[in-house]
Structure 1
Amino acid sequence: MTPGVKAAQRHGVAHTLHAYRHDNASTSYGLEAAEALQLPPERVFKTLVVSLDGSQLAVALVPVCDQLHMKSLARALGARKAAMADAESAQRATGYVLGGVSPLGQKKRLPMVIDRSAQAFDTIFVSAGRRGLEIELSPQDLASVTGAGFEALRR
């Protein structure tokens, strides 16, 4: 059981786990999950770790079919600039490997923003903390557990 799943359980969040066979040759973990679970990609959210103003890490969740609009994220978190964090920093801060970064159960609690499109769904899918495992839960529960807000973040 991953720290992400344990966090959902600890907070009493209703959730469902969905496992699929991960293909090591896959180049897009999120789209792979959507395809394997036969889900619309708009309901599957990728967890992206970013650097704000070159000094602070934060997390953004956007649908796997979209790109993160860095200026919107920076504005939402009161920063001047946002850029993708390097892999080593992201893995060290979250405790997860790339492609399996869950917004739940991270080693360090980072500021987090979820694209507001998530609010259109009763449930969304995010990584449960390892490649090949997604957790389905309500976007409101995810925001409550992580302290995240909702903002327009997609391109």
Structure 2
Amino acid sequence: MAKNKEEKTNVMRVLEQKKIAYTAHTYPHEEGVAVDGVTVAKSMGFDPAIVFKTLVARGASKQYYVFDVPVAENLDLKKAAKAVGEKSIEMIHQKELLPLTGYVHGGCSPVGMKKLFPTVFHETAENLETMIVSAGKIGYQVELAPHDLAALVRAKFADIIVE
């Protein structure tokens, strides 16, 4: 398949503007159809443990939070609430995602949201050489150093997945 011009997403433009090294990856997809993260990881030839999904939740205080966890894992709402100092948190409804973040379900990235929300990466990311997150569009991912990404979005690392 010949590529005439690599499509750049907003996430890629932000990373370039901030001079953060990344590698772009694509995976086959149907337009507008979100694919589960494990399928995405395998279709790109990566271990699902280094491919992270971005989840958005709302705390009891009505503050929004962003959590990135490996695609094969599930967010533990109690641990996530503790990590951000909330009494409780709940996932936002899918219809709220686009107006709040600027991203669609299946293409949500911690980079380039309309607003910078408090962000937490699962602690396994801290020890990875690179991690992969959505490039802000279904079919596109970016691979980069976890600490570069964490510095950009001011994320912290914590145990936030279901055991």
Pick the TM interval, shorter chain.
over 0.9
- Tell me if the contact between 2:60 and 2:86 (Cα under 8 Å) persists in the aligned partners: yes
Which blocks of at least 5 consecutive residues in structure 1 are unaligned? none
**Stretch deviating more after TM superposition (5-14 or 40-49):** 5-14
CA contact (8 A) 1:3 1:106 kept: no
Identity across the alignment (%): 35
Deviation digits for residues 5-56 of structure 1 (CA, Å, limit 9, x no counterpart): 1111111101000011114697643122101101110000000011111612
Render the CA deviation track for 1:91-140: whole Å, top value 9, x for unaligned.
21210111000111111111100001012210000000111111000100
What TM-score, normalized to structure 2?
Answer: 0.89
Q: What number of residue pairs does the alignment pair up?
A: 155
Show structure 2 runs of 5+ residues with no match: 1-7
Q: Larger C-alpha radius of gyration, 1 or 2? A: 2
1:1-155 matches, within 5 Å, as 1-23=8-30, 28-53=35-60, 55-155=62-162
**Cα RMSD, aligned residues only:** 1.6
Amino acid at match of 2:124: S
Post-superposition Cα deviations, 1:52-99, rounded to whole Å, max 9, x if no partner, equal 116121100000010001111111111000111112222212101110
| Residue type of the alignment partner of 1:135 | V
Contact conserved, 2:29 with 2:35, CA < 8 A, in 1? no
TM-score using structure 1 length: 0.94
